[in-house]
């Protein structure tokens, strides 16, 4: 009976995996077709003419600039979010001060603020400080919005760290800054891997803030730059599919290489004591 149960479980998981992979296969085939074949043929049929030039078209259309913008904005925002969230979580969980619970509550309130409700206040604020049409407005917004969820993931892990390590380091003359950067931060590597993946997915796929704050093509990211291939009278759907495949690759590669780290980080931050 146990063997039959395992067989049934793996069959169900295999079926789920097929449904998960099917959209990616469809998108890949979509990116290698022309407009006529996309609308006239079967969605999952192999292309009659493999249009690899769709990828060359999007690259010549500026997709390289959008890709690089997405990369550096995502990386900088992840670094800032991870560092600031780690420092704040360390101060709240490992240091004794009266308002720590209140400060933690203020950070957690950020989880309840809808993105769309903050667009107009953020736009006015960035307009007053001349950061509209500036990529740093996107970096600042991503960092601020990802801080609450990042701190929530870090909290469980920080509570499990043994205080004997800190006490031994302080007895040896270690300062609070050196304690954090040389001892505590390296110990949080498993959960930091989870944080990097979660932040990467959000930053890489975000559309609303970039579309609102950025107007110049030189600062646009992939999610917004794809609109350049949508015309008033003619839309190159194959090129749009190629753009989506290019934008999907970094996320897929990150999951392939860091999936074990993500599971390890989630499980380690979920257990207390």
- pLDDT of 1 reads 62
Model-level pTM? 0.83
Residue recorded with tokens 């603020």: 113
H or E element at residue 132: none
- Give bridge partners of residue 235 from the DSSP assignment: 230
- pLDDT of 146 reads 93
- pLDDT of 85 reads 94
Question: Count of CB atoms within 10 A of residue 1's CB?
Answer: 5
Report whether 154 contacts 89 (CB < 8 A).
yes
- List domains and CATH numbers for the chain: 1-51 (no CATH), 62-270 (1.10.3720.10)
Q: Is 222 left (phi over 0), alpha (psi -120 to 50) or beta?
A: alpha
- pLDDT of 214 reads 92
- pLDDT of 272 reads 46
- pLDDT of 259 reads 67
Mean pLDDT by 10 residues, the chain (273 residues): 82 89 88 82 79 84 86 95 93 87 89 85 93 94 93 88 85 87 87 87 90 90 79 69 86 76 58 46
């Amino acid at each position: 009976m146990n063997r039959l149960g395992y067989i049934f479980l793996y069959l169900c998981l295999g079926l789920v995996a097929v449904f998960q992979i099917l959209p990616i296969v469809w998108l890949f085939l979509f990116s290698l077709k022309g407009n006529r074949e996309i609308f006239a043929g079967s969605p999952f049929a192999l292309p009659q003419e493999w249009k690899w030039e769709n990828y060359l078209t999007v690259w010549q259309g500026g997709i390289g600039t959008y890709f690089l913008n997405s990369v550096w904005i995502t990386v900088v925002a992840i670094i800032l979010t991870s560092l600031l969230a780690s420092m704040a979580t360390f101060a709240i969980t490992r240091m004794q001060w009266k308002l720590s619970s209140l400060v933690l509550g203020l950070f957690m309130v950020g989880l309840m603020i809808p993105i769309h409700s903050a667009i107009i206040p953020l736009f006015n604020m960035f307009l007053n400080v001349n950061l509209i049409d500036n990529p740093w407005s996107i970096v600042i917004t991503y960092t601020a919005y990802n801080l609450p969820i990042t701190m929530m993931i870090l909290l469980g892990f920080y509570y499990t760290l043994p205080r004997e390590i800190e006490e031994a380091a302080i007895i040896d003359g270690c300062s609070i800054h050196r304690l954090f950067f040389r001892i505590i931060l390296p110990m949080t590597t498993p959960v930091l891997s989870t944080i990097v993946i979660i932040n990467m997915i959000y930053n890489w796929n975000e559309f609303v803030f970039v579309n609102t704050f950025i107007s110049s093509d030189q600062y646009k990211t992939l999610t917004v730059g794809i609109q350049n291939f949508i015309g008033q009278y003619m839309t190159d759907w194959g090129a749009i599919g190629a753009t989506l495949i290019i934008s999907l690759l970094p996320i897929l590669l990150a999951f392939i290489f860091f999936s074990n780290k993500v599971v390890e980080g989630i499980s380690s931050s979920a257990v207390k004591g």
